[in-house]
Structure 1
Amino acid sequence: MHRRLLLSVSAAVLGLSLAGPVRAQAAPTVIRIAAPEQGASGQQSFPGSTPLAVAKLRGLIEDEFRKDGIKIEWTLFRGAGPAINEALAAKQLDVVYLGDLASVIGRARGLNTKLILPLLRGSNSYLAVAPGSDIRSFADLKGRKVSVLKGTAYQRPFDQLLADAGLSEKDVKLINLDWPGSKAAVLNKDIDATFGGNDLNLLTDKGVSLPVNTRGKGPAYTIQSSVLATEEFTRQYPAHTTRLVAAILRASHWASEEGNREALIQLWQQASGTPAAVFRAEFEGSSLRERNSPLFDEFTRSAYKGVVADALRLGLIKQGFEVDTWLEPRFVNEALRQLKLENYWSPADKDGRLIKG
């Protein structure tokens, strides 16, 4: 009996020793990352004004995984959030960069994602009108041809600004058009106006004007963007998820240093093709550290809960979900610990005010 017990224990120990390395060696051969395309004039471009653009141009994610032989595959989607959500549903992606509304719509419709890294907060939106147009406010949009890419983060502030003017989407001739197509259409006067991001400033030297934007209107009008991963990826490769987050956080830290502001803007210009002046205007008066905060603080939680509530109210989703269980802060928390950046960013309250601590 004693001998059988020893053999049993030895077998169990051997089994554990064999199982351990097998689990440790489990790794993806490729990490498939996607982001929206924001190009113009037929040129494909990566979204600027984010730490992810810094990470991509500097090859920080590739450097992290090169020693393991893991390939990083980037895909830009002209159809932005809706197209990325379709690719997620088809299991063609592992990690994505999305604005708040698109990520909420995807989750509400059953995509098994986890929000693993808040990336950029407080982004503004702009109304661009065709050359020679007399549109000066949202009230002037009544009966006009206006494009907005539905299912993206811009639809939410667009609808809110319409409501502020006593209008709804039914009061305009709304056209669902991707961002490159919208730029061409407004420039050619095929539509009267389009609503989108700061890349619309690319058109101002061609006679397009931007009479309305969301600067200074408060958190309810701004857009938050984050990095999401599939639940399958985070469950199967938790250590690799942390390493991915840490690589992007290195970019977030560099992008948060005020001394790097001009170098950061130049890099964003390189990534997106958008003139540096556009980024200077967008971030004028803003703290880089606050805009690039990766914290799962009260602001992040409140902002995404607000997006879910607004999406339900606007009929963009049929049912809500528990935001707190969707947010997955453990990878950021561990990466911050490893990088010794636990106290670098300060948490903010629901209104975006820093919490003194």
Structure 2
Amino acid sequence: MAKAKRTSVFSKKSVATALAALLMMPLAEADVLRIGVASAGGGDPVTFSGSSLGIVRNQRLLEKAFEGTGTEIQWFFFKGAGPAVNEALSNQQLDFAYEGDLPQVVGRANGLDTKLLAAIGVRSNVYLAVPKGSDIKSVEDLKGKKVAVFRGTNAHLVSINLLADHGLTERDLKVINLDSGSSQAALASKGVDAAFGGRELFKLRDQGLIDILFDNPKNEVRYTRQCALVVRGAYEKEHPDNVQKVVDTLVDAAKWESEESNRDAVLNEWAKTNEPVASLKADFGHLALRDSASPLVDDFLRSRYQAVADQAKDEKMIRRPVGIDGWFETKYLGNALKSKGLEHYWTAYGADGKQAANTATASSDKSVNNGG
């Protein structure tokens, strides 16, 4: 007896129809907004200091801003700092990123599609430290010594500038590439003769383990580093409303940070990283918080970014030149400042970073309203 032919319940026609319907359906989007921070951070939960975005993190301001939208806010911290953040951006693992000027320039030179939205934490000093009791008494004394530098970060070019102004180059030193934590350990154990770093060095100083050899006493802008918030270009195009909400939230935090009456509260917020308040006071004692917190993309920020880009090319850190035109997308910042009545709250500085721009209003308008 012949076997009956088995007939599938799904005909070829019905399968094809189902596949076509699936292809026409909009792709479900992950309701997640991912922010990368170019720092290992500290504390529990992990946070970071020195910028208004750290305030946003601590006070869960983004989580509150997106409450009820179904969007989850995720924060990622990178011990590898800016270079590691760039890799994550390149792999589309982040939507927004907080990092320094040099890594951002390197990323752009390598074809990373980002838009710079606003300044976050500018005029940060870089310090030069030596172990306690060292016979190194000047920058010139570094010649031939083992010096720790975190290469590729926004402190790297500052160290090159300081060396150059004292007749030295990196080739005159025995440079060792160490991240912040490793550099501190090496200084404390006298495994290196000197190290460039940030405010984390003040904790070692106060413990009697090191001396700060250089602390930028004249606030020379060439010895400072700038940080900013960037967004992936594709994300900015696809989710402009989300970008606006992030920038609005950042401006609110920057305004709160800028009030001098809030200085102690701001430092205590940043100390949630487990950094000593004394270290934060030492680092920010030279600077008005309003200037540090300013989100403006003014002539000062533009000139510093272009200077970093030009120097990175000269130092052969990047192969092709980088221009700032078309990179800075400041319409979101302009919208935030206008809606909050803050168009003239922060000083728009000229290129030297010391004098207000000749026409403050025009400079401010240029800074926040232009798309490039």
Same fold (TM over 0.5): yes
Q: Structure 2: how far apart are the matches of 1:285 and 1:79?
A: 28
The DSSP-based 3-state class of the residue aligned with 2:319 is: coil
1:33 to 30, 35, 50: 35
Offset at 1:39? 5.4
User: 1:86 Cα shift?
Assistant: 1.2
**Are 1:252 and 2:269 counterparts?**
no
1:322 CA displacement: 2.2
Aligned match for 1:233, one of 229, 232, 235: 235
Change in Cα spacing, 1:58 to 1:299, as seen in structure 2 (3 Å) is same
Deviates more, 1:259-268 or 1:332-341: 332-341
Q: 1:139 to 1:45 in 2, by over 3 A?
A: farther
Counterpart of 1:325 in 2: which secondary structure? coil
**Aligned residue in 2 for 1:201:** 202
Q: Distance in 2 between matches of 1:43 and 1:251?
A: 21
Tell me by how many angstroms 1:327 deviates. Answer: 0.7
Instruction: Tell me the residue number matched to 1:77.
Output: 78
**Do the aligned partners of residues 39 and 241 (structure 1) sit closer, same or farther apart at CA in structure 2, a change above 3 Å counting?**
closer
Residue 295 of structure 1: how far off its partner (Å): 1.1
Aligned to 2:216: 214
Residues 1-357 of structure 1: matches in 2 within 5 Å? 29-38=31-40, 46-204=47-205, 205-270=207-272, 272-352=273-353, 353-355=355-357, 356=360
Deviation of 1:206 after TM superposition, in Å, equals 4.2
Please state whether the residue corresponding to 1:333 is helix, strand or coil.
helix
* Residue type of the alignment partner of 1:342: E
Listed one character per residue, the Cα deviations across residues 196-227 of structure 1 (whole Å, up to 9, x for unaligned) are 11121121114111111224242122111101
Unpaired stretches in structure 1, ≥5 consecutive residues: 1-21
After superposition, the C-alpha distances for 1:169-218 in whole angstroms (9 at most, x for unaligned) are 11111111111111111111111121111121121114111111224242
Deviations 1:66-124 (A, max 9, x none): 21011111111011011111111111111110111111111111111111111122110
Instruction: Give how far 1:140 is off.
Output: 1.3
Q: Percent identity?
A: 38
* Cα distance between partner residues in 2 of 1:214 and 1:258: 23
Bigger shift: residues 336-345 or 171-180: 336-345
Give the direction of change, closer, same or farther, for the CA distance of 1:26–1:350 in structure 2 (3 Å limit): farther
Deviation at 1:53, TM superposition (A): 0.8
Q: CA deviation at 1:28?
A: 5.4
**Superposed displacement of residue 292, structure 1:** 1.2
CA-CA distance at 1:266 after TM superposition: 1.1
Q: Report deviation, 1:334.
A: 1.1
Residue type of the alignment partner of 1:228: V
Higher helix share: 1
- 2:229 partner SS: strand
RMSD: 2.2
3-state SS of paired residue (1:92): coil
In 2: Cα distance, 1:61 partner to 1:96 partner? 14
- Give SS of 1:120's match: coil
Question: Taking CA–CA contacts closer than 8 Å with sequence separation of 6 or more, which of the two structures ends up with the larger relative contact order?
Answer: 1
CA distance in 2, matches of 1:61, 1:27: 19
TM-score of the pair, normalised by structure 1 = 0.88
Report the alpha carbon displacement of residue 27 of structure 1 after superposing the two structures with TM: 6.9
Q: Which amino acid aligns with 1:70?
A: T
- Superposition deviation, residue 286 in structure 1: 2.3
Q: Which amino acid aligns with 1:192?
A: D
TM-superposed deviation, 1:299? 1.1
Q: Give how far 1:45 is off.
A: 5.5
In structure 2, what is the Cα distance between the partners aligned to 1:212 and 1:234?
40
Give the Cα–Cα distance (whole angstroms) in 1 for the partners of residues 119 and 46 of structure 2. 22
Structure 2: runs of 5+ lacking an equivalent: 1-24, 362-372
Secondary structure, counterpart of 1:324 in structure 2 = coil
**Cα displacement (A) at 1:326:** 0.6
Paired letter, 1:349: G
| Aligned counterparts of 1:28 and 1:286: Cα–Cα separation in 2 | 41
Q: Which is higher, the Rg of structure 1 or of structure 2?
A: 2
CA contact (8 A) 2:310 2:322 kept: no
TM-score by length of 2: 0.85
Asked if 2 retains the 8 angstrom alpha-carbon contact of 1:37 and 1:45, the reply is no
CA drift of 1:311 comes to 0.8
